[in-house]
Structure 1
Amino acid sequence: MNSGSKHIQEAQDDTGVRFDDVRGVDEALAELQEIVMYLKNPSKFTRLGGKLPRGLLLTGQPGTGKTLLAKAIAGEADVPFFFSSGSQFEEVYVGLGAKRVRELFEAAKKKSPCIIFIDEIDAIGGSRKLKDQSALKMTLNELLVQMDGFEENNGVIVIGATNFIESLDDALLRPGRFDKHITVSLPDVGGRKEILEMYAKKTKLDANVDLNVIARGTTGFSGADLSNLMNQAALKASVDGLASITMSVLEYAKDKILMGAERKTAVITAETARCTAYHEAGHALVAVMTDGAMPIHKATIMPRGSSLGMVTMLPEGDQTSQSIKQMKAMMDVAMGGRVAEELILGKENTTSGASSDIASATNIARNMVTKYGFSDEIGLVRYGGTTGQEHASEETRNKIDSEVKKLTDSSFKRAREILTKYSKQHHLLAKTMLEYETLTGDEVRDLIKKGVKPKRAVINNDGGARGKRGVLSNDGDGKSKLSGLGKDDSSSKL
């Protein structure tokens, strides 16, 4: 039983990570630098009778750099650093978790001032319930006592990291234990550029690479995502035999992460390609001609992942909230695919490809009604649950359904008006997509607003068809019996 606890108490050697190696989380860094300064010169902070917080809790989405920050503290602070994971305390033996917590803190006290870092602390710090096993409660109770119990625990600073702060026990979060809660948020556009520059130093970039463009186009990416992007680009450049990472390789890596890998060997008939092209052109046209819609990043009929085509859109900046106009615009764009199919193919030949678009529009409408108070009929009331109807009466649920349908019907009508009014641009865009397969956002806008086609070589001269179509059965006229029915379009990236 004792042999398994040794790895928990081991002091961390020099991690080789410093605060200079951490980018994009300046606010969190400032808080942690304060801890290091205290450990190096405690009298500077305690001269007026103040005490530094005994515990810091790092919270945030996965991949934002919480563990990296802990390594940076270990590298900067010239004090012993103890590390552990929440899952390392519990094993098959009852009481072993509590024993390991005691041993960890006893070892830390002997070397104070020092730091204890517990990663994924929710594994032992989850809210206590009556039905929980007594062993789980014992481990958490021991941690609570060690952090702020009867005996003083001066000189030991506990840093915890978790992705689920809402799951932690209230007693663990109170002042005196984890006094400071530091949210390690996703990096903004400036932070993303700093992170990309840091990873770029470890490889070789082409002189024409503009990291500002990549930073603006990676909204919502975490530090781990950006690291993966640069690594994917480096691997692609190496395989292609390039001397450095070019802008096109970085765009390839970004599109692969955002939209999935291209299915270049997929067998696509001309009928299916035409259906997909008009569907995606419908999304793109509505997006360009609707005020409040996000700018288009790319439109493609190249199969990626589980979809036959998609239109991806990225915000111009880092948005924290959306207006009613922007949400309605998102619904209109989502409806553009189904409207386009009905107008071009006829109602009887409309495919199931808009299923994810309808789901996306419905979710936005339901949230507008039940979460954001944007319905005069329902009022400024929030209803919980996945469908937004929790604790609502039967009469209210009927009203909610009616309001959601009213919003989606209005969205469908607006999308139909745009595609009917700009029918000529819709046909031009669809035909161009059949020829070029993938269009950038600027190329889509030039086509719709100026009627200018891309100034590059045409990729497909076979009406969008691709792959080894010889395996398909043909009728007497040599035409494929397969149609575009059942197209799975996961363009909910919209």
Structure 2
Amino acid sequence: MVESKSNRIALYVSAFLVIILVLFAILRDNAESITLKEATKILKDHSVKSVVASQDFVYLKTDKEVYKIASSQVSPEMFIDYKVKVKSSSNIYFYLLVLVLFLGLGTLLFKWLQKNKLINTQNIKNGRFSSLPEHSQPVESIKSDVTFSDIGGISDVKIELEEIIDFMKKPKRYKSFGARMPRGVLLVGPPGVGKTMIAKAVANAAGVPFYYQSGASFVQIYVGMGAKRVHELFTAAKNNSPAIIFIDEIDAVGKKRDGQRNDEREATLNQLLTEMDGFENSSGVIVIAATNKIDVLDSALLRAGRFDRRVFVELPTNRERASILSKYLEKVPHELDVNSVANMTVGFNGASLAALVNEASLLAIRQHDFQVTIEHFHQVKDKVMFGKKKLQILSNEQKQYRVTYQAAKVICATYFDLPFEKLLLSNEKLTPATDEPLIKHELESRVKMLLAGIVACNIKYNEHTSSAKGDLDEAKEIVEKMIQDYGMGSSLIVQESEKEILMKKLYDETRSLLESLQSVMKYVEGVLNERESITKVDVKKKIDEVL
């Protein structure tokens, strides 16, 4: 505090001295003193351009210089050939005006730098002047108000973390058994599953300070700043222990060192490794980090003694989705069966479910409905999953191709019981892709659904449209993985023509299926022409009648 005050005083003194020097430069008399003889000479030579008289001096201005001579040495007769100007004392006001303008421009420049974040006002208040924005700001904890009850569908994760919470609350109990608290916990999972909220909930449950940093905030263009920031973070946490440090997207700073030069990134990673090694068992600080790319992390960061525990946060199951949706629907007027919404949201993460409920609520408001219904969820589901796309204006012929294409896809998806609830004529995608382990026949069913539109158009019109590209690309990708990666061909060793053979086989089987369900095709096409949408229940009912 004393040092900060001294720095502030030094800053003010320096500013005052600068102003004095500027005033001295402006007001200083630069004229050269001359004798009466010299003055008489240059006056007779007519080299003087103007004469200015003040109370103490007479100034003679030539092309090259300005001379001055004491007023007491000259007589009025010397200047009979010149028009003498009297120097007014009001010139001081001119200089004061210049000073005011100077200070005004300085203030405007300061405000511009502050607005564009080229200087840090907080540093100036603390007695430090720096052109680096926010890098020197003190690290401060935040108070977490997130509880585990606010997060649905993480019962397994909660069990893993409750031990750490208990350790931070009752450290003596564990130390009496010779146990030490894990130094680090790594939360691994895809984006949007709630890793940050889980870390905040741990801090709230343990009742300790929570220090949040993103991995990207350590990666600076200024040499040494990343390592300095890491040191400041850990020092602040130790000084306020017990505490939790949460580093989001740690892969931004903790990538594998591959020998290519990146001195700043490596220095930051080395500092992080050193700080985690420097923990004492009694420090009371635990590091929680989150990543969705554990495979790119440096092995030194993953070894025991740094991140001792790894918690995998997966996409929510059907039951967990229902739990999450119940949380988000608490304040939304509805009479929904939450399980129905959960069934139609396979592949959704927590963030997507929150967005889905919000979009359904907004749609209900736009349509002036009193409550949210399942129909609202059907209408906004694709917008949340795939993003809103501008619909093309189709001609009558193009619309008929589209109807046939979509009718075939919905029939195949229903026949093979793929996860979806409703198809809209404008759907770009019908069912979400999944990375879960799938059996061979499940993958084949998905490929058949993707090929169904092409097959149906070729049956009815002997051609298909270019809009099939997306489905065709996905079908090729699945077949490629089946043969190349999963060993699902005729043998485990890949044959040259395996992919072509499998694709033709699936195409022919899809054609046979659709030819046998032509009455269902006509029914679905009729519904799509009339309503531009159809549910899985309606299609299944019609297929059951035929079969």
TM-score under structure 1 normalisation?
A: 0.78
Determine if contact 1:8/1:83 at 8 Å carries over to the other structure. Answer: no
Supply the AA of the counterpart residue of 1:286: C
Determine if contact 2:167/2:174 at 8 Å carries over to the other structure. Answer: yes
What is the CA-CA distance between 1:65 and the residue it aligns to? 0.5
Residue 227, structure 1, aligned to residue 354, structure 2: yes
Instruction: Specify the alignment match of 2:490 in structure 1.
Output: 376
Instruction: Specify the alignment match of 1:45 in structure 2.
Output: 174
Instruction: Specify the alignment match of 2:408 in structure 1.
Output: 282
- Tell me the distance in 1 between the aligned counterparts of 2:325 and 2:292: 24
Higher helix share: 2
Determine if contact 1:126/1:168 at 8 Å carries over to the other structure. Answer: yes
Relative contact order, higher structure (CA 8 A, sep 6+): 1
- Tell me the distance in 2 between the aligned counterparts of 1:204 and 1:296: 24
Determine if contact 2:378/2:422 at 8 Å carries over to the other structure. Answer: no
- Tell me the distance in 2 between the aligned counterparts of 1:153 and 1:43: 10
Residue 28, structure 1, aligned to residue 154, structure 2: no
What is the CA-CA distance between 1:268 and the residue it aligns to? 2.2
Moved more, 113-122 or 137-146: 113-122
Determine if contact 2:347/2:432 at 8 Å carries over to the other structure. Answer: no
Determine if contact 2:185/2:289 at 8 Å carries over to the other structure. Answer: yes
**1:207-246 superposed matches below 5 A:** 208-246=335-373
Residue 254, structure 1, aligned to residue 381, structure 2: yes
Determine if contact 1:125/1:169 at 8 Å carries over to the other structure. Answer: yes
Unpaired runs of at least 5, structure 1? 380-395, 452-494
What is the CA-CA distance between 1:89 and the residue it aligns to? 2.2
The runs of 4+ residues in structure 1 deviating greater than 6 Å are 150-153
Where 1:125 maps in the other structure, the secondary structure is coil
- Tell me the distance in 2 between the aligned counterparts of 1:7 and 1:37: 32
Where 1:4 maps in the other structure, the secondary structure is coil
Determine if contact 1:342/1:350 at 8 Å carries over to the other structure. Answer: yes
- Tell me the distance in 2 between the aligned counterparts of 1:105 and 1:287: 53
Distance 1:221 1:418, change over 3 A: same
- Tell me the distance in 2 between the aligned counterparts of 1:128 and 1:319: 29
Determine if contact 1:86/1:121 at 8 Å carries over to the other structure. Answer: yes
Alpha-carbon displacement from aligned partner over 1:218-264 (angstroms, at most 9, x marks no partner): 01111100100111112112222223222322332224324654857
Unpaired runs of at least 5, structure 2? 1-129
Distance 1:115 1:300, change over 3 A: closer
- Tell me the distance in 2 between the aligned counterparts of 1:78 and 1:321: 40
Equivalenced residue count is 417
Instruction: Specify the alignment match of 1:483 in structure 2.
Output: none
Instruction: Specify the alignment match of 2:210 in structure 1.
Output: 81
What is the CA-CA distance between 1:358 and the residue it aligns to? 2.4
Where 2:362 maps in the other structure, the secondary structure is helix
Where 2:287 maps in the other structure, the secondary structure is strand
Moved more, 438-447 or 253-262: 253-262
Instruction: Specify the alignment match of 2:468 in structure 1.
Output: 354
Alignment partner for residue 501 of structure 2, among 399, 406, 412? 406
Alpha-carbon displacement from aligned partner over 1:278-308 (angstroms, at most 9, x marks no partner): 122222333444xx5525532332x35xx5x
What is the CA-CA distance between 1:28 and the residue it aligns to? 1.6
What is the CA-CA distance between 1:153 and the residue it aligns to? 7.0
Determine if contact 2:524/2:534 at 8 Å carries over to the other structure. Answer: no
Alpha-carbon displacement from aligned partner over 1:333-369 (angstroms, at most 9, x marks no partner): 22221221111112xx433333233222222221111
Supply the AA of the counterpart residue of 1:210: D
Where 2:500 maps in the other structure, the secondary structure is helix
- Alignment identity in percent? 34
What is the CA-CA distance between 1:314 and the residue it aligns to? 6.8
- Tell me the distance in 2 between the aligned counterparts of 1:353 and 1:238: 33
Supply the AA of the counterpart residue of 1:143: L
Instruction: Specify the alignment match of 2:423 in structure 1.
Output: 299
Determine if contact 1:8/1:84 at 8 Å carries over to the other structure. Answer: no
What is the CA-CA distance between 1:446 and the residue it aligns to? 2.2
Alpha-carbon displacement from aligned partner over 1:433-478 (angstroms, at most 9, x marks no partner): 2122110111122233337xxxxxxxxxxxxxxxxxxxxxxxxxxx
Supply the AA of the counterpart residue of 1:339: V
What is the CA-CA distance between 1:216 and the residue it aligns to? 1.1
- Tell me the distance in 1 between the aligned counterparts of 2:241 and 2:386: 50
Where 2:508 maps in the other structure, the secondary structure is helix
Instruction: Specify the alignment match of 2:398 in structure 1.
Output: 272
- Tell me the distance in 2 between the aligned counterparts of 1:268 and 1:342: 19
Instruction: Specify the alignment match of 1:480 in structure 2.
Output: none
Where 1:299 maps in the other structure, the secondary structure is strand
- Tell me the distance in 2 between the aligned counterparts of 1:67 and 1:82: 12
Supply the AA of the counterpart residue of 2:357: M
Supply the AA of the counterpart residue of 1:4: E
Alignment partner for residue 447 of structure 2, among 298, 309, 331? 331
Supply the AA of the counterpart residue of 1:91: Q
- Tell me the distance in 1 between the aligned counterparts of 2:252 and 2:287: 16
Determine if contact 2:455/2:510 at 8 Å carries over to the other structure. Answer: yes
What is the CA-CA distance between 1:20 and the residue it aligns to? 1.5
Q: Rg: which structure is higher?
A: 2
TM-score under structure 2 normalisation?
A: 0.71
Distance 1:342 1:364, change over 3 A: same
Instruction: Specify the alignment match of 2:456 in structure 1.
Output: 340
Distance 1:3 1:109, change over 3 A: farther
Determine if contact 2:144/2:210 at 8 Å carries over to the other structure. Answer: no
What is the CA-CA distance between 1:56 and the residue it aligns to? 0.5
